[in-house]
Each structure stands twice: as C-alpha cells, then as structure tokens.
Amino acid sequence: MLTAFLKGADLKFKNLGLLNLAFMHRSVSNESSHKANNERLEFLGDAILGAVAANLLYNLSDKREGDLARIKSVVVSEDVLSAVALELGLDSLLILGKGEELSGGRSKKAILADAMEALIGAIYLDSGYKGAFAFVSRFVSAEIDRVLENRHHLDYKSLLQEFCQRHYRAYPAYRLVDRSGPEHSRVFIMDVTVNGRVFGPAEGKNKKSAEREAAKLAYEALQS
C-alpha cells in the first residue's frame, strides 16, 4: 500500500519505516505495547508546514501582515489539511487502535489533519527542507489562490470572532445545548451568544463542527 501511495502522491522515500510511522495514530500505542506513534512527526510537520506557507505568502508583496496571517490561518487549517489527506488516500493508510477504528477515526478531520502534518514531518526528515517545500507548496499554493479569489472554505468561527471584536469588543460565547446518539455516532447541539443575542441551535458530529455551524448562522445573520 505504501508503494502505491508514493506513486500516486509522486513522492519518493528512502525510509519506508518513517513513512509508516507517519500514519501510526496514538490510539495504537494506547491499546498495545507498541509505543511509537506519529505525534512527534506531527509536531515537526506543523512547524515545517507553517514555514513553507509563510515563505510562499511573503512573496505576496501587496498584502499587509494582518492579511498574510489571515490567509495563512486558512491554508494550514484542519479543514484544508483533512481534505488534502482524503485526496491523497491517507484515510486508508491510517493505523488506528481498535476503539478509534470503531468510532470512525478514519473520517475524523482532526486525525486526518494530524496525519497530514506527520507526513510532512516524515518527508522533511527523509528528503530535507527542499523535498518538504516541494510537497507542501503543491497544495498550499493552490489554496492561497482560492483565498485570494474568495473561493476557499470560510472559517466562520474566525470571521465571527473578528466581527465581534471589531463591533462589540467582545468574544462570541458558545454553549453546548444537548448531545444525543450512541457513542460511535454522537450528535452535538450548540448555540452561540453575540452581544446578548443567541444564534442557533446548530448540529455537528463533534463540538467543533457544531460550533462552526452555529458561528455560520450568527455571522450570516449579523451580516444581513
């Protein structure tokens, strides 16, 4: 599977053990005597990803620091990384513990995004910064173009927070209204309060996604 992945992703690896480690979720080490997992690679990959994104954004000479920071937060976000991970087929390569497998870990954005960062860390260790830069710039450059053309996935939580700080000098307050469903298929219901007004409720498969949906409701209502 790793050989097929490398061919499809147009990557070369000298150390396949390092590549395999990038897909080893911590749930494996939590459930067995196998201690190794991808958390250290994820830490390294996060730093490399940020450096590459900053390097590419620096060349946008017509943008101010605040704009560059906003664009960077989008292009290295969990939504973007998890989407790229799915395109590359990382979901089928993940090595998960039994519990995480049963709870749908292969489709969780956070796990996919973490694996993507771990992969970047592994590429850096195997091929150096030049190899990591070439790989990361493939999807980051395309995502930067989407942001500049306003075709990107909107981060409604960030947009709502910026709106609240600008107009009310306050932060939105999220509240868990309810949760339902079995452990492997939970539904979370959240609302958000902005300047005394409550927006929602909104549903999601986890608290973060429910918060995003509530933020979307609030932001669109406040804009109109």
Marked catalytic residue, from 46, 155, 211, 213 = 46
46 is catalytic: yes
126 is catalytic: no
Angle at 95 between CA 89 and CA 98, to 5 degrees: 125
Dig out the tokens for 80 from the structure: 């973007």
Residue 99: φ, ψ to 5°: -65, -45
Marked catalytic residue, from 42, 114, 117, 126 = 117
Q: In whole angstroms, what is the distance from residue 76 CA to residue 147 CA?
A: 12
Tell me if 2 sits within 8 A of 93, measured CB to CB. Answer: yes
User: Closest Cα partner for 50 from 24, 77, 25, 23?
Assistant: 77
Q: Point out which residues pair with 11 in neighbouring strands.
A: none
Tell me if 19 sits within 8 A of 126, measured CB to CB. Answer: yes
Residues 6+ apart with CB under 8 A from 56: 137, 140, 141, 144
Helix (H, G, I), strand (E, B) or coil at 202: strand
- What number of other Cβ atoms are within 10 A of residue 15's Cβ? 12
- For 70, counting Cβ atoms within 10 Å of its Cβ (0-12 exposed, 13-18 middle, 19+ buried), the class is middle
Active site residues: 46, 117
